Amino acid sequence: MVQVNETTAELLQLLNIQDGVTPNVLQILNESDARYIRDLKVNVGNVLVTTHLTEKESALLALSISANQKNNILIAGFQKLATEKEASVEEQNEAISCASLLAGNNVFYRFRHFQQKESYNTMQAKIKMNIMMKPVLGKEFFELMSLAISAVNGCEMCVNAHEQSVRELGATEERVWDAIRLAAVITSLDKIIS
């Protein structure tokens, strides 16, 4: 068993990562430089509890970003947190499904954007997206998750479309900002916890 310093232990606890599990890269940082781990712990705490997202929404959004990154350790931790924050299995499954749907959409629409050819813009996508029509989590939050995932995946066309949609559905810029901050922090976690 790897001995971890107090800051690393607090980060692992915040992420609901089981005792005795210390991912390899985090072990390296634990042994050499706790400053970054301390910053990351503060950042995680700051994005999981915000003014413009409920704790349940933060947990589901973190779960969705973790699924997008294919990070099983973070997925398990955020599933546990989402359950603690009273997210149903159906809601958790939809957060994971959103990541999968957007992974495909981001590739497709990024291609259209890069090519900027009228012919591609007029062709039908023929990609089923029923989950977007009547999401369990509500249209506004599903759009917010879609926006955050699109930002992580770097699809400018999707980011612009989802930001406009979520704003039309009543989200404030502060709510959008908190979701993007959360996506950024979870993405940084993915680099050291896998």
- Residue 101 tokens read as 């749907």
Instruction: Provide the token pair at 113.
Output: 């954007």
Q: What CA–CA distance (Å, rounded) separates 187 from 43?
A: 12
Apex CA 59: angle with CA 58 and CA 61, to 5°? Answer: 65
CB 79, CB 63: distance < 8 Å: yes
Q: What is the DSSP letter of 86?
A: T
158 as an active site residue: the answer is yes
The active-site residue, picked from 48, 149, 155, 179, is: 155
CB 41 within 8 A of CB 30: no
Between CA 110 and CA 103 the distance in angstroms is 11
**Active-site residue identified among 96, 98, 158, 180:** 158
**Is-contact 182 64, C-beta < 8 A?**
no
Contacts of 129-134 with C-beta under 8 Å, sequence gap 24+, read: 129/101, 129/105, 131/94, 131/97, 131/98, 131/101, 132/101
Known catalytic membership, residue 98: no
Residues shown for the chain: 194
Catalytic residues, by residue number, are: 155, 158
